[in-house]
């Protein structure tokens, strides 16, 4: 979705996006800690040493092994998950990119990565357009009705405001804290779903409703915050923590709201899930997984074991 405005606004959005994509300091630390500095560079490549594990590759369907390729619908958004460090005509980078590439190497297949907008990937899985999808997809009860997941990290929902803003003085533990504010978030995300589903909480509390504005690009959401068109951003914990560590963003991370398992997404009943689960667990066991998360500053979101279709986490603030 394009953001209405002048050419100046568009240039501002582009400039902010470019500054935030620079792989300088990736978010890390404890659940409410500040971001640590994690320098990501081409020389820092924990995926390079990964080799095929035949016993795990054998879990793939015979036709997939014969073809030797898998099509992945990949949402390239912002660091640390997936972004373009050198422009859209160059290969993407990020935590999701490294984990997917490492899994493919364990399975002995090549990935045919197709860029797609976040909100289009899950519906396209059932049609067979992609074999699987990546995009920091959180595991929710609603998605589990139509999608299979193989988990690889624990991320979730959080909030951020413009640096110096006083609209929210503390961590958001209840959506009634948002009453009367305008929240910007991503199209087709769990954030949009949560905000729309809970929109009635303000009326029940006898307060003015909050308003939701949806954007297709992270840079547009950030520009809207800086220009005062929204009061707060709801997005991924790791993404907002990383963003707040960039001086150019001028944002303050307000902490975690709801943790969610994040996984590779497949059409329901996909024969690929067991092979992917075994591959992720192999990466955990051989240390590659920990090195990838350290590279991108997301070690606090590590999982102990990959799971297929785990139940959605209950909200911590419930």
Task: Quick: pLDDT tens for 195-215.
Answer: 999 999 999 999 999 999 999
Q: What share of the chain is helix, strand, coil (3-state, %, to 5)?
A: 35, 20, 45
pLDDT at 313: 84
Is the pLDDT at 8 greater than 90? The verdict is no
Angle at 307 between CA 301 and CA 312, to 5 degrees: 70
Percentage of the residues of the chain whose pLDDT score is greater than 90:
80
Can you give the pTM of this predicted structure? 0.83
Is the pLDDT at 13 greater than 50? The verdict is no
Distance CA 314, CA 237 (A): 16
Confidence category of residue 217, pLDDT binned at 50, 70, 90 = confident
| Residue reference for tokens 């820092």 | 44
Q: 53 in helix, strand or coil?
A: coil
Mean of pLDDT over the chain? 87
Distance CA 291, CA 284 (A): 9
CB atoms within 10 A of CB 214: 18
Confidence category of residue 35, pLDDT binned at 50, 70, 90 = very low
pLDDT at 15: 40
Is the pLDDT at 123 greater than 50? The verdict is yes
| Contact residues for 299 (Cβ-Cβ < 8 A; gap 6+) | 28, 290, 293
Radius of gyration of the chain (CA): 19
Distance CA 195, CA 233 (A): 11
pLDDT at 169: 80
pLDDT at 40: 46
pLDDT at 82: 95
Terminal-residue alpha carbon distance, the chain: 33
Q: 22 in helix, strand or coil?
A: coil
CA nearest 309: which of 255, 270, 282, 279? 270
pLDDT at 42: 42
* Tokens coding 236: 């991924």
pLDDT at 316: 58
Is-cis flag, bond preceding 144, omega within 30? no
- Are 148 and 308 a contacting pair, CB within 8 Å? yes
Give mean pLDDT, residues 1-23: 37
pLDDT at 22: 34
pLDDT tens-place string over residues 226-263: 999 999 999 999 999 999 999 999 999 999 999 999 99
- Distance, CA of 307 to chain centre: 18
């Amino acid at each position: 979705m394009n953001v209405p405005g002048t050419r100046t606004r568009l240039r501002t959005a582009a400039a902010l996006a470019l500054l935030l994509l620079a792989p300088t300091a990736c978010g890390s630390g404890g659940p409410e800690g500040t971001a640590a500095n994690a320098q990501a560079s081409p020389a820092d490549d924990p995926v390079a040493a990964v080799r095929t594990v035949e016993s795990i590759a054998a879990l793939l369907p015979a036709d997939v092994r014969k073809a030797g390729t898998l099509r992945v619908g990949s949402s390239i958004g912002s660091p640390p998950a997936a972004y373009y460090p050198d422009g859209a005509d160059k290969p993407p980078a990020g935590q999701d990119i490294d984990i997917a590439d490492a899994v493919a190497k364990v399975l002995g297949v090549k990935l045919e990565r197709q860029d797609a907008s976040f909100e289009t990937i899950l519906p396209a899985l059932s049609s067979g357009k992609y074999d699987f999808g990546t995009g920091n997809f959180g595991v929710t009860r609603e998605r589990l009705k139509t999608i299979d997941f193989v988990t690889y990290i624990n991320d979730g929902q959080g909030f951020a405001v413009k640096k110096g803003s006083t609209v929210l003085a503390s961590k958001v533990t209840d959506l009634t804290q948002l009453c009367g504010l305008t929240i910007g978030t991503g199209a087709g995300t769990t954030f949009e779903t949560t905000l729309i589903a809970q929109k009635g909480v303000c009326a029940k509390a006898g307060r003015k409703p909050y308003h939701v504005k949806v954007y297709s690009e992270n840079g547009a959401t950030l520009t809207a915050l800086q220009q005062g068109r929204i009061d707060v951003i709801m997005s991924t914990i790791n993404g907002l923590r990383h963003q707040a560590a960039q001086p150019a963003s001028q944002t303050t991370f307000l902490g975690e709201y709801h943790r969610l398992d994040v996984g590779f997404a497949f059409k329901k009943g996909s024969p690929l899930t067991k092979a992917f689960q075994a591959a992720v667990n192999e990466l955990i066991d051989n240390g590659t997984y920990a090195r990838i998360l350290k590279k991108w500053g997301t070690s606090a979101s590590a999982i102990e074991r990959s799971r297929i279709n785990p139940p959605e986490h209950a909200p911590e603030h419930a």
